[in-house]
Amino acid sequence: MNASDKINLEVYKLFVRVVSKAETIEAMGDQLSQLMVGALGVKGAALYILDPEKERLTLLASAGLSNDYTQKGPLLVDPNVRLRANREPVIVSDVQKSPQLQYPEAAKAEGVQAMVSCPVTMRGKIIGALRLYHFERWEVSSGDLDFLDMLTRQIGMALMYFRIVRAVTEIKETVDDIHPVWL
């Protein structure tokens, strides 16, 4: 582990336990974002889900960020989001010098100095984003990026699992409703 790494194997295990043991998608998002803030010593963390119809990210959960910041406006998705280059993490080491932010004034007012946005993917498709916000400049290590990549893949599988469970539950309830009438 490099001295600049924030994530080691023990911290990563904590993250994976939260993702794998959560009973609901909301609980997973809440617990994971809170754990990330505490374990990494960052200002905030947020998990977003892609709304493909509106072409924007919708907040699932956050920790360490004000309501004003998390509700600053829609996080629009680049129309070219399917390009391979957009499937890589976006690292903004100093928000004051970056043209990449959609809401730079809101980040400044919130006290955010650096941001890392990692795409959450499932089967090659972007289905969300995990964002970490830091109160100081942050040069993210390659080791941390590797751990974040593995974590976002785990999150992607968990999100798909929760969607499948929700669909199966709805089908079961529908069948249970019509069962006495038709069967």
Q: How many residues does the chain have?
A: 183
Question: Taking the domains of the chain in order of start, what are their residue ranges?
Answer: 9-182
* Stated pTM of the model: 0.84
Q: Report the alpha-carbon distance of residue 101 to residue 15 in Å, rounded.
A: 27
Q: Report the alpha-carbon distance of residue 161 to residue 179 in Å, rounded.
A: 26
Q: Report the alpha-carbon distance of residue 78 to residue 129 in Å, rounded.
A: 13
Q: Report the alpha-carbon distance of residue 174 to residue 156 in Å, rounded.
A: 27
**Using one digit for the tens of pLDDT, what is the confidence trace for 88-109?**
888 888 888 888 788 888 888 9
Task: Considering the domain delimited by 9-182, tell me its CATH architecture.
Answer: 2-Layer Sandwich (3.30)
What is the residue whose two structure tokens read 């600053």? 72
Q: What is the pLDDT of residue 180?
A: 66
Q: What is the pLDDT of residue 183?
A: 55
Lowest mean pLDDT among 26-35, 75-84, 85-94, 137-146: 75-84
- Between 179 and 157, the more confident residue is 157
164 burial level (CB within 10 Å; 0-12, 13-18, 19+): exposed
**Using one digit for the tens of pLDDT, what is the confidence trace for 6-52?**
888 888 898 889 988 988 989 999 999 999 999 999 999 999 998 87
CB-side exposure of 17: number of CA atoms within 13 Å?
8
